[in-house]
Chains A and B, each alone.
Chain A
Amino acid sequence: MTPAPFPVDVRAVRKTFRRKNGETVEALAGVSFAARARTLTALVGPDGGGKTTLLRILAGLTPADSGGVRVLGLDVAAAPQAVQARIGYMPQRFGLYEDLTVQQNLDLYADLHGVDGAAREQACARLLAMMALTPFTGRLAGKLSGGMKQKLGLACTLVRAPALLLLDEPTVGVDPLSRRELWEIVRRLVRDDALTAVVSTSYLDEAGFCDHTVALHRGVVLAEGAPGEIAAQAAGRVFLATPAAETNARALQARLFQSRDVADAVPEAGKVRVVARTPNAPENAPDTTFAAAQPRFEDGFMLLFDAVADGRAVQSVPAGRAGNAPGNAAPNPVEVRDLVRRFGDFTAVDHVSFQVRRGEIYGLLGPNGAGKSTTFRMLCGLLPASAGSLRVAGADLRRARAGAREKLGYVAQKFSLYGDLSVDENLDFFASAYGLRGHRKRARIAWAKEQFNLDAMASLPAGQLPGGYKQRLAMAAALLHEPEILFLDEATSGADPMARRAFWARIAALAEAGVTVIVTTHFMEEAEYCDRVLIMDGGVALAEGSPAEIRARALPGQDAPTMEAAFISIIETARKTGRAQA
């Protein structure tokens, strides 16, 4: 059998799902694409674009309604078992057996794929070394960090050297360091092992690593081509805007993002990267200097996407904390001094101190296991501190937790609303839980539904909301009682680029209205939206300051380094000098 020139060949594939409430959703509406042998193809696009469905069809797990799917020269619909015997597929949640050790997981997949003898020993040793998991073979998979789990999942997928590798959003929830390592591994496999890989991602910067990209949106292919070709779409329309002296990048970004001339605007290294809808710089930004910039994949993609998107929902002033005079509140709503949290003899947070000012957006950054979430839980009064002082909204959290809780809103990393209650019922419940009654309760619920565009979904069970709406509802519920401080834990993890931009526009507007916002995030470019950030690793605070200060301090001499480069440099330097144990 000669190897097929196109290991993946998809023609006019359609797939429709039926939701529980009877409505049908067209996940794929006639998708065609091909992946050339020994290349890395990225499926890029927002949530609900059909990426996962397409990969499941390729893996023979979901049958297509119509159209032709050939994988490695085989018809998937006719011979799914034969296809599965030759591919490696890593689903979004790989689903390791968490009660089995690293080695037992790997052995299971080796057995399932029929790899034994010397080949097996060699493959295991090589993969464990490649994933840097060799020291952890005896550890239970459930006790690994997020990044390590993904690497183990990849190792299980690769144990039989598949002819085709299918990866579904392999880097969701993975910190920047592990993300970089994962991509290096995949690229090396394609280069050195003659592998063909199809990877789905909603992180646009990752598409730049690939040979070929397929942009999926609402079940159709929006564009296809090499990353350079997609980038070229935005040629001559990308500008770097430098904010005037008295304003900052975030304010400028918020203003530009609402401009009719602008397809996309994101803060970048103290400036704002703008993709214009026409080849001219936007006009409604006086005192701002625009410099032409080299287009990147993201720019081209956002321009393509902008052409088909139906308007963007950005709130003007969502907070409405009118009755709260600024003088009433403490100048520093959050004050943390020498905060320590121990679990047994393990110190998760080790003497961390910081202050957050009123109306500030404050970011807690760090790799998986840095102690961000532990710090966060202590700030929200969900976990008692072992030592140190902790004042939130003027109340000492170690003494008066209930008093402080009334003044803070919390959006958890995991969707934590009631999936079987409707949007209205969830809002009603949370309003009551926060003690709202009568007229004020009705007014706040009406406000939340209007601000977050939830009216159209009001009667839908929360569990059936599309991803972006779930997050909106979670935020709406957290803001019902007009908290002074809003805590957001990895709120944008797994969200697509459009949802993330809308999310940050909302956060910025809240901060303008005087709400103090504390966020954790894995996306370093998102740190640019923060006024100040704290970088942690191994429970220790490594650096604090504005994004510009952090960049300048971490990589002096470099011209406008990215936040991600600065972050990786800070963590790696600290790990080398032993300030933080990995």
Chain B
Amino acid sequence: MTPLPSLRRVLALTRKESWQILRDPVSVAIGVAMPLLMLILFGYGLSFDIRHLPVAVVVEHASPESGGILAALRLSPYFRVHPATSMQEAERLMTAHEVNAIVRLPPHFSRDVALGDAALLVTVNATDANNARIALNYTRGAIAIWQQKELARRSASADSEATVVIENRMWFNEANDSTWFLVPGLIVLVMTLIGALLTSTVIAREWERGTFEALFATPVRPGEILASKTLPYFVMGMAGLALSVAGSRFLFGVPLRGSPWLLTLISSLYLLVTLGLGLTISSLTKSQFLANQIAFLSTFLPAFMLSGFMFDIRSMPLWLQGVTHVFPARYFVSSLQTLFLAGDVWPVLLPNMAVLAGMAALLMAMAGKTVRKRIE
């Protein structure tokens, strides 16, 4: 006697939902304009790279070697060189915030170089520890490049064998461009926005506007309502993914080293998790404002702070590392960073996918339980 689930009702409701999304400028803005905006913001504006780092170079005894280092720093786009004649002068520049780093070449520098035992002092302003580390590494990098050239020059002129082994390490990004590192995070943010923040209002809105009561009195089933709320936002989330990947590829040339299919699969899983979470929150609170706040706090903020996107999880206190395991964003960020920068590394991806799939199933079931055709 009870009517069977009907695909047609799902389609009718989905169409209704899509019309509502299209007529709501805010949804369109979040779904389309937001990924683009974030891409541009992250790609061009927000970056961990440092350019034009003001650095004082103290040359206590001018020599071809010191001149070479000075030139290497000057020619690098990462530095702006302030020549100084004494350490006192350089320190004054540092206290006045005119420079962030000091490179000091001692008087007997060229002699030491010749002996293969040279040392120079690099002092950085460590008020901002992150910046200080980057400044230090850049300086190291620049001097290493000079050293390599110097070595090549000597071996060419004197035919002597290389006596110094250069270890050249770019700690922060081997690609020398933090956009590569930021794109995976961007995708997490876009998916979280569409999945949880947008859907957090869609069930609450129907309660607030009183549209559910009439809908409930039709043969429609709760599962059909849920499906119709999931489908359009799923499509929108995948479109956001495509937009972000395409944008990062064509605007910034970020490579995708893993399989695009795997990327789609993992993103779908994460999207289902956030959709389930958004719909559950929406259905439980029945208030658009409250649902939005809760969704923001429970999905967007963790995706930003606790996912390993902005801050490395391994450098967090142990208890906080434990907390990150609760949030789905962590598994997604780790998967994306692997897929983009490393490739299909199964030992990393498989456990992440398993956790995301489990969370998706759990949250969708929860959303299904909370949508009931009841008015109390």
Q: Give A contacts to B, CB under 8 Å.
A: 17, 56, 59-63, 74, 79-82, 84-85, 87-91, 93-100, 104, 107-109, 111-114, 153, 156-157, 166
**Alpha-carbon distance between A73 and B217 when the two chains are bound, in angstroms:** 17
For B214, the chain A residues whose CB sits under 8 A away are 89-91, 94-96, 153, 156-157
* Contact present for A114 and B8 (CB under 8 Å): yes
Q: What are the 9 closest A-B residue pairs judged by CB atoms, nearest first?
A: A111-B12, A89-B217, A95-B211, A95-B210, A85-B219, A91-B213, A93-B210, A112-B218, A99-B23
* Contact present for B221 and A97 (CB under 8 Å): no
**Alpha-carbon distance between A178 and B23 when the two chains are bound, in angstroms:** 29
Of listed B1, B13, B16, residue having the most chain A CB within 10 A: B16
Segment among B257-265, B319-327, B368-376 that sits at the interface with chain A: B368-376
* Contact present for B16 and A104 (CB under 8 Å): yes
Known: A56-B375, A166-B217. 13 other contacts (CB 8 A): A79-B2, A81-B221, A84-B219, A85-B3, A95-B210, A95-B214, A99-B20, A99-B23, A108-B15, A111-B8, A111-B12, A112-B12, A112-B220
For B221, the chain A residues whose CB sits under 8 A away are 81
Q: Which residue of chain A has its CB nearest to the CB of B217?
A: A89
List 8 interface pairs A-B (beta carbons < 8 Å), by A numbering: A59-B216, A60-B373, A61-B213, A79-B2, A84-B373, A98-B209, A108-B13, A112-B9
Closest-CB distance, B231 to chain A (whole angstroms): 15
**Alpha-carbon distance between A571 and B9 when the two chains are bound, in angstroms:** 43
Pick the contact of A61 from B12, B15, B217, B219 — CB < 8 Å? B217
- B346 at the A interface (CB under 8 A): no
**Alpha-carbon distance between A96 and B215 when the two chains are bound, in angstroms:** 9
Q: Give B contacts to A, CB under 8 Å.
A: 1-3, 6, 8-9, 11-13, 15-16, 19-20, 23-24, 206, 209-221, 373-376
**Alpha-carbon distance between A98 and B211 when the two chains are bound, in angstroms:** 9
Q: Given A61-B213, A82-B2, A85-B3, A112–B219 Cβ distance below 8 Å?
A: yes
* Contact present for A63 and B374 (CB under 8 Å): yes
**Alpha-carbon distance between A59 and B374 when the two chains are bound, in angstroms:** 10
* Contact present for B1 and A79 (CB under 8 Å): yes
For A85, the chain B residues whose CB sits under 8 A away are 3, 219
For B19, the chain A residues whose CB sits under 8 A away are 99-100, 104
For B6, the chain A residues whose CB sits under 8 A away are 114
For B1, the chain A residues whose CB sits under 8 A away are 74, 79, 82
For B23, the chain A residues whose CB sits under 8 A away are 99-100
* Contact present for B11 and A111 (CB under 8 Å): yes
**Alpha-carbon distance between A80 and B218 when the two chains are bound, in angstroms:** 10
Q: Given A82-B1, A97-B20, A113–B218 Cβ distance below 8 Å?
A: yes
**Alpha-carbon distance between A238 and B375 when the two chains are bound, in angstroms:** 42
For A153, the chain B residues whose CB sits under 8 A away are 214
For A87, the chain B residues whose CB sits under 8 A away are 217
* Contact present for A61 and B374 (CB under 8 Å): yes
**Alpha-carbon distance between A74 and B16 when the two chains are bound, in angstroms:** 31
Q: Which residue of chain A has its CB nearest to the CB of B1?
A: A82
Q: Given A96-B211, A112-B12, A114-B8, A81–B2 Cβ distance below 8 Å?
A: yes
**Alpha-carbon distance between A541 and B209 when the two chains are bound, in angstroms:** 34
Q: Which residue of chain A has its CB nearest to the CB of B10?
A: A111
For A62, the chain B residues whose CB sits under 8 A away are 374-376
**Alpha-carbon distance between A97 and B218 when the two chains are bound, in angstroms:** 15
* Contact present for B219 and A114 (CB under 8 Å): yes
For A109, the chain B residues whose CB sits under 8 A away are 218
For B374, the chain A residues whose CB sits under 8 A away are 61-63
Closest-CB distance, B9 to chain A (whole angstroms): 5
Pick the contact of A100 from B20, B212, B216 — CB < 8 Å? B20
Closest-CB distance, B374 to chain A (whole angstroms): 7
**Alpha-carbon distance between A103 and B26 when the two chains are bound, in angstroms:** 24
Closest-CB distance, A135 to chain B (whole angstroms): 21
Q: Which residue of chain B has its CB nearest to the CB of A157?
A: B214
Pick the contact of A111 from B9, B24, B213, B375 — CB < 8 Å? B9
**Alpha-carbon distance between A99 and B17 when the two chains are bound, in angstroms:** 10
For B209, the chain A residues whose CB sits under 8 A away are 95, 98
**Alpha-carbon distance between A470 and B9 when the two chains are bound, in angstroms:** 40
**Alpha-carbon distance between A112 and B19 when the two chains are bound, in angstroms:** 16
Q: Which residue of chain B has its CB nearest to the CB of A104?
A: B19
**Alpha-carbon distance between A152 and B55 when the two chains are bound, in angstroms:** 73
* Contact present for A95 and B212 (CB under 8 Å): yes
Closest-CB distance, B237 to chain A (whole angstroms): 21
Q: Given A82-B3, A95-B211, A95-B213, A100–B16 Cβ distance below 8 Å?
A: yes
Closest-CB distance, B333 to chain A (whole angstroms): 35
**Alpha-carbon distance between A66 and B376 when the two chains are bound, in angstroms:** 15
Q: Given A97-B16, A112-B13, A156-B214, A61–B373 Cβ distance below 8 Å?
A: yes
**Alpha-carbon distance between A113 and B13 when the two chains are bound, in angstroms:** 12
Q: Which residue of chain A has its CB nearest to the CB of B375?
A: A61
**Alpha-carbon distance between A81 and B11 when the two chains are bound, in angstroms:** 19
Q: Which residue of chain A has its CB nearest to the CB of B206?
A: A95
Q: Which residue of chain A has its CB nearest to the CB of B6?
A: A114
Q: Which residue of chain A has its CB nearest to the CB of B8?
A: A111
Q: Which residue of chain B has its CB nearest to the CB of A153?
A: B214
**Alpha-carbon distance between A81 and B375 when the two chains are bound, in angstroms:** 14
